[in-house]
Amino acid sequence: MKELLKYLGSILILVGVVILALYFFGVSQENAMLAAAGIVMIVGLITHIVINRYIN
């Protein structure tokens, strides 16, 4: 469980990248997808920093 939790931030960042790729390749041309991708990537970055600070 610790290993999965250790990589949670990186997984969230990759989910944000996938959302950006879907937007780029034309699945949907809504700005909501850009906002969602940005929010998911920022949350992933913060999660990565916070979790890896407290998990050894």
Taking only the tens place, the pLDDT of each residue in 43-53 is 999 999 999 89
Q: How far apart are CA 31 and CA 52, in angstroms?
A: 32
The pLDDT of residue 2: 77
Q: How far apart are CA 47 and CA 42, in angstroms?
A: 8
Taking only the tens place, the pLDDT of each residue in 2-50 is 778 889 999 999 999 999 999 999 887 889 999 999 999 999 999 999 9
**Helical H segments across 1-56, by residue range:** 2-6, 8-24, 31-54
The pLDDT of residue 55: 82
pTM of the model: 0.85
The pLDDT of residue 56: 67
